[in-house]
Amino acid sequence: MSIQFEIESQSGSARTGRLITPHSEVETPVFMPVGTLASVKGVSQDILEELGVQILLGNTYHLYLRPGVEQIRRLGGLHRFMAWPRAILTDSGGFQVFSLTDLRKVTEEGVTFRSHLDGSSHFFSPEGAMDAQIGLGADIIMAFDECTEYPADRDRMRASMELTLRWAERSKKHFEEHKDEVPWFNHVGTAAQALFGIVQGGMDHQLRRESAERTIAIGFPGYAIGGLSVGEPRALTREVVESTLEHLPTDRPRYLMGVGTPEEIVEYANLGIDMMDCVLPTRAARHGLLFTSEGKITIKQARYAGDEAPLDPNCGCRVCRRYSRAYLRHLYASNEVLAQVLNTVHNLSFYLDTMRAVRHSILLGKETGSSCVWSRPKP
């Protein structure tokens, strides 16, 4: 047994559910904070638990380079290594390698790439990506795909989609043969990881449909929509998400990779997406861009230097309960490490609160507009 997915309520296309993974239950729709190198930058795991994070994302490419898959495997897998008892999802490394535009070469067999750290040469194949993700031991792992660049012509989109489909078959075959090698296989009641397939097809609705149908034919316990948020206009992203969702089974979790803003995660949850991840809340926090119920705040601005109000008067997070905008502005302007820590805690809190509000609205059968994000009641 790998995962179970139970839908609890539906409202239009949106639904709430429970994703039961070997390590914990996850309420959906869910936003997954990104913990690239086995750490959500600056935030201790205690605080992530307090924030209500139920599932974290780790990046296979980064962990493969540091500290190395074998090291993590020997230490019992990613959960034990980073002392995180709840669910984890790892990406396949495909998107990260895709981002190394000048450092990679794609062939039928896989991708040769150079490390962004030291220029050393490495090779990822569907089989290698499965071995890496089995060694890391996340609850949910992803098929090795090619993320089609944007813009791309139809021939290129088709060729890329076909490659991803062949790689999906190879990913599944290798995973099925090796899934009992996950470090915790016999510790968590012989539970196994769940391998999700990824739908590609560029911005072409017809290709997306074909990719969805053929990926479903291979058969996975969950499906992701990949290849979006790669530079295309937001309206196009939404169109592709909507048209792809029509072709995905309703009884399996649907994961939209790499989105988005607070408004977007509400919008996609309302379209029926169950899982999302994005570096935005954490990366923006490090640059002093903070999400609040009253809109975005660029904390370095001089206007906040004397502002005694909490960052977000409608937020109950440990940052908003204790500190003023003036203090947060001072920390940021003075390049204090605590700025990054507190800003990240708040932004994650805002994203998680947003998803809680969305789940609540779906449960009540209400369409959740972005208004729920920007005007939540005081806690």
Is the peptide bond between 29 and the residue preceding it cis, with omega within 30 degrees of 0?
yes
Q: Which stretch binds a copy of itself (CB under 8 A): 51-59, 75-83, 139-147, 254-262?
A: 75-83
In the complex, least distance from residue 250 CB atom to a copy of itself, rounded to whole angstroms: 39
In the complex, least distance from residue 49 CB atom to a copy of itself, rounded to whole angstroms: 10
85 or 233: CB nearest a copy of itself: 85
Tell how strand 30-32 and strand 275-277 pair up. parallel
- The helix-helix angle for 262-271 and 337-363 (nearest 10°) equals 30
Q: Which stretch binds a copy of itself (CB under 8 A): 16-24, 184-192, 220-228, 334-342?
A: 334-342
Name residues whose C-beta falls within 8 Å of residue 47's C-beta, 6 or more positions apart in sequence.
318, 345
CA distance 219 to 377: 43
In the complex, least distance from residue 101 CB atom to a copy of itself, rounded to whole angstroms: 23
- Among residues 1, 4, 12, 44, which is the contact residue for a copy of itself, using CB under 8 A? 44
**By CB under 8 A, is residue 9 in contact with a copy of itself?**
no
Sort 15 into a burial class: Cβ within 10 Å, 0-12 / 13-18 / 19+.
Answer: buried
Tell how strand 87-90 and strand 140-142 pair up. parallel
**By CB under 8 A, is residue 41 in contact with a copy of itself?**
yes
Instruction: Judge whether 277 counts as a catalytic residue.
Output: yes
CA angle 12, 15, 19 (to 5 degrees): 165
- Among residues 82, 89, 230, 241, which is the contact residue for a copy of itself, using CB under 8 A? 82
66 or 296: CB nearest a copy of itself: 66
Q: Which stretch binds a copy of itself (CB under 8 A): 33-41, 150-158, 293-301, 361-369?
A: 33-41
Catalytic residue among 274, 277, 312, 353: 277
Instruction: Judge whether 91 counts as a catalytic residue.
Output: yes
Q: Which residues pair with 297 in a beta bridge?
A: 290
Return left, alpha or beta for 314; rule: phi > 0 is left, psi -120 to 50 is alpha, else beta: alpha
The contact set with a copy of itself (CB under 8 A) reads: 37-39, 41-46, 66-67, 71, 74-75, 81-83, 305-306, 308, 318, 322-324, 326-327, 330-331, 333-334, 336-338, 340-342
Residues marked as catalytic? 91, 277
